[in-house]
Amino acid sequence: MHIHVLGICGTFMGGLALLARELGHRVTGTDAAAYPPMSELLASAGIEVERGYDGEPPASPPDCTVIGNALSRGNPMVERLLNDDLAYTSGPQWLAEQVLRKREVITVAGTHGKTTTASMCAWILDRAGHRPGYLIGGAPAWTDQSARLGAGGPFVVEGDEYDTAFFDKRAKLVHYRPRILLLNNLEYDHADIYPDLDAIATQIHHAVRTVPAAGRIIVNGDDANLEAVLRRGCWTPVERVGAAPENDWRYAVEGGAPVLYRHGRRLGTLRPPLPGRHNLANAAGAVAAAAAVGADPEQALEAIGSFPGVRRRLEHRGEVAGITVLDDFAHHPTAVAATLEALRDTPGRLLAVLEPRSNTMRLGVHRDRLAGSLRQADLIFALETAGDGWSVAEALRPLGGRATVFRQTGEIVDAVCAAARAGDRIVVMSNGSFDGIHERLLARLAEVAA
């Protein structure tokens, strides 16, 4: 079968294309631009990628076109598909029908930590010999692929709450019908799609409704918003994970070391290589989810200790003259605060470089929380994009002289490199490429040090 993927260079859609190729299909795709790392992964799999949506239609139409949620009405290829009455589907629907049926699906959902937790869960199961399949909306550091079919047993999928396609406004995660549903947390986000928190909670509850009574729901027991979701109705056994004593799985710091308990029994040390309490929560949830499909919890703890991490999650990008540059995907105030808090435990100044790029940020929904999320940083350098309708500089005014706002990425590079000194850590936070600022910072620091 010939499958054509529109929006193929996105992490989810590119991973889907790799799965389709692994199933033996002929796979091609189109995107506005082909860019690494996904373009390189697709090329290595023999998948042809066309650039731009204005090209001539193929002489022989594909058997099915899979449409990413970045495409909307008005796109030339979308209009052509509709006018010619060609077969099409969404990415999540194709995945559910062609890959996830008859699999023991573990879906990891929530506002924060999905990619890290899903990667940890897949890593644990792989180390335990389960040879899991997975589709992760990021780049695990332990493999060069964001998706694989596995051996036919467990399949770990990141359950994004963003909408499915222009013709299906349900959350992606509603399609997956998991046996195990892991709910990390719930906050308001995706303001371009959802009017309020209740709208997102409704989508989460739609997913809760699909988990069988023979399955398991693993939930952050410290999150009141998730408890409210479960009170809407739950027909599946629930296990709670968190720091509070009443949780089924409880993590705590004892004698300076984090440990994990299950039903009051101490299992062992919980040492995710990534710092911060949020990563303790991610790791505990991953252990609980893996245990739900048969992994030994104590072996899972050993696997967590060797977890190689995820690209763009406190990823070490380089060091020059004693100055370290880190890359982090944080783009929501809660995630920004958690990242900086995690780094605060080590000595040296912390220089935060922020691009408020997400749709929710650009709409100004979190502007009143932005300054508070950055308080752990010694110096803050932020990009202000013209036309956002609100002022990043005004939002950061409570931070006084510690925060400076710029209009151009190059100006930030100049200012950061002028301010940095040996022992500093520069953490770049954005959900985009940020104009390649990481490499530019390292190159400039090398010039200064020369």
The two structure tokens encoding residue 405: 């706002």
Helix (H, G, I), strand (E, B) or coil at 300: helix
Please give the distance of CA 283 from its chain centroid, rounded to a whole number. 15
Same domain, 112 and 242: yes
**96 in a domain, yes or no?**
no
* Residues contacting 118, CB < 8 A, separation 6+: 106, 108, 134, 136, 137, 156, 157, 158, 286
The two structure tokens encoding residue 385: 């994009």
CB 154 within 8 A of CB 123: no
Rounded-to-integer distance, Cα 353 and Cα 442, Å: 14
**216 in a domain, yes or no?**
yes
Same domain, 271 and 163: yes
Q: What percent of the chain has a predicted confidence (pLDDT) above 90?
A: 51
At residue 449, the pLDDT reads 77
Question: What's the domain range around 26?
Answer: 2-91
**420 in a domain, yes or no?**
yes
Higher pLDDT, 165 or 342: 165
Give the pLDDT confidence of 61-107 residue by residue, as tens digits.
899 999 999 999 999 999 999 999 999 999 999 999 999 999 999 99
Same domain, 14 and 116: no
**8 in a domain, yes or no?**
yes
pLDDT confidence tier of residue 354, bands split at 50, 70 and 90: confident
Same domain, 151 and 288: yes
Last residue of a domain, one of 305, 323, 340: 305
- Identify the top-confidence range among 140-149, 302-311, 360-369, 417-426: 417-426
Rounded-to-integer distance, Cα 143 and Cα 137, Å: 13
Residue 251 parent element (H or E): strand 249-254
Compute the average pLDDT of residues 217-234.
97
Last residue of a domain, one of 68, 91, 114: 91
Compute the average pLDDT of residues 285-309.
92
At residue 356, the pLDDT reads 81
Compute the average pLDDT of residues 34-49.
80
At residue 18, the pLDDT reads 94
Domain at 290, CATH number: 3.40.1190.10
pTM of the model: 0.86
Same domain, 130 and 257: yes
Compute the radius of gyration of the chain from its Cα atoms: 22
Query: DSSP string spanning 336-401?
Result: HHHHHHHHTTSSS-EEEEE---SHHHHTTTTHHHHHHHTTT-SEEEEE--TTSSS-HHHHTGGGGG
The two structure tokens encoding residue 414: 């100049």
At residue 59, the pLDDT reads 74
pLDDT above 70 for 130: yes
Last residue of a domain, one of 305, 338, 373: 305
Domain at 341, CATH number: 3.90.190.20
**97 in a domain, yes or no?**
no
pLDDT above 70 for 36: no
At residue 8, the pLDDT reads 93
Same domain, 295 and 200: yes
Rounded-to-integer distance, Cα 121 and Cα 142, Å: 13
Give the pLDDT confidence of 173-203 residue by residue, as tens digits.
999 999 999 999 998 877 778 889 999 999 9
pLDDT above 60 for 239: yes
pLDDT above 60 for 56: yes
pLDDT above 90 for 232: yes
Compute the average pLDDT of residues 410-429.
89
Rounded-to-integer distance, Cα 65 and Cα 355, Å: 34
pLDDT confidence tier of residue 217, bands split at 50, 70 and 90: very high
At residue 387, the pLDDT reads 61
**310 in a domain, yes or no?**
no
- Cα-based angle 400, 406, 408 (whole degrees, multiple of 5): 170
Same domain, 176 and 280: yes
Same domain, 178 and 285: yes
Same domain, 294 and 336: no
Domain count, the chain: 3
**414 in a domain, yes or no?**
yes
Domain at 31, CATH number: 3.40.50.720
At residue 206, the pLDDT reads 97
At residue 35, the pLDDT reads 66
At residue 11, the pLDDT reads 84
Compute the average pLDDT of residues 348-370.
78
Higher pLDDT, 338 or 157: 157
Task: State the residue for tokens 């052509």.
Answer: 80
Compute the average pLDDT of residues 412-432.
87
Q: How many contiguous H segments (helices) and E segments (strands) does the chain have?
A: 15, 23
Compute the average pLDDT of residues 118-129.
93
pLDDT above 90 for 261: yes
Same domain, 388 and 335: yes
CB 176 within 8 A of CB 100: yes
DSSP annotation of 58: P
Rounded-to-integer distance, Cα 20 and Cα 208, Å: 27
Compute the average pLDDT of residues 395-412.
87
pLDDT above 70 for 363: no
Comparing 101-110, 164-173, 308-317, 373-382, which segment has the lowest mean pLDDT? 308-317
**70 in a domain, yes or no?**
yes
The two structure tokens encoding residue 436: 């390649």
pLDDT confidence tier of residue 264, bands split at 50, 70 and 90: very high
Same domain, 61 and 125: no
CB 79 within 8 A of CB 73: yes
pLDDT confidence tier of residue 434, bands split at 50, 70 and 90: confident
Helix (H, G, I), strand (E, B) or coil at 56: coil
Same domain, 123 and 272: yes
Higher pLDDT, 211 or 323: 211
